[in-house]
Amino acid sequence: MSAEELCREVKKNLTDEIEFMHDLTVASGVEHGASVCQDQNKQVLMGTKCSGDECSVEYPPCPLDSKIVGSVHFHTDEPALMLSSADIENAQELGEILTCVGDEKDKVACYQVKDVSSQQIQQMQTAEKTYTACGEQWGARQPLQTWEAVSEQDLPPPVVDAIMEKCGPAYKAEINDVLKHFKKCVINL
């Protein structure tokens, strides 16, 4: 099944379940996600749902007699519709065709990641390291895996605002420069 076909099937068959995960994420402030599976009859189904901390989610395996073909998870922060290098590496390791990430604004972006090059992943990792280093200059005391991680460090609001203003735009631009080369479809909830 191609990424385009899979995206159509996800939109057609899984939108209600995806919307439910979106609502859980918004209500709890914790990431929710699930594997997207395909059974022996080529039917696309949602795997067991899971939740994680603000920065990550671990996917349970697909049900017996089915295989993983993708995943969906929701970010609790900005920049929400952007995959991280870890999202891509995990998806490639699992053999996913399509990796979907959603935000709190009723959208899900699904990216075809199987053909992403190691050079593109390295470019994203460089952007992530630059973002973290920028945050450290402004007083962040831990790696900034997500924008929300800035506000979790008990920094004064002016420092948080400075980190977002000074570090965020360059990070978003660098990651989007890589993501624009990926095949993508968008699901509106």
Of 43, 132, 145, the residue nearest 87 (C-alpha): 145
Which residue range forms the structural domain that includes residue 164?
118-176
pLDDT at 9: 93
Please indicate, yes or no, whether residues 14 and 37 belong to a single structural domain of this protein.
Answer: yes
Q: Residue 183 and residue 82: Cα distance in Å, rounded? A: 13
Within 8 A by CB and 6+ apart from 51, the residues are 24, 28, 30, 31, 32, 33, 57
- Give pLDDT, residue 153: 57
The pTM (predicted TM-score) of the whole model is 0.81
Nearest one of 31, 109, 110 to 74, comparing CA atoms:
31
Give average pLDDT by consecutive 10-residue segment, the chain, 189 residues.
90 93 87 92 91 70 91 76 86 91 86 90 89 77 51 64 78 85 87
CB neighbours of residue 1 within 10 Å: 15
What is the tally of structural domains in the chain?
Answer: 2
- Residue 14: which CATH number? 3.40.140.10
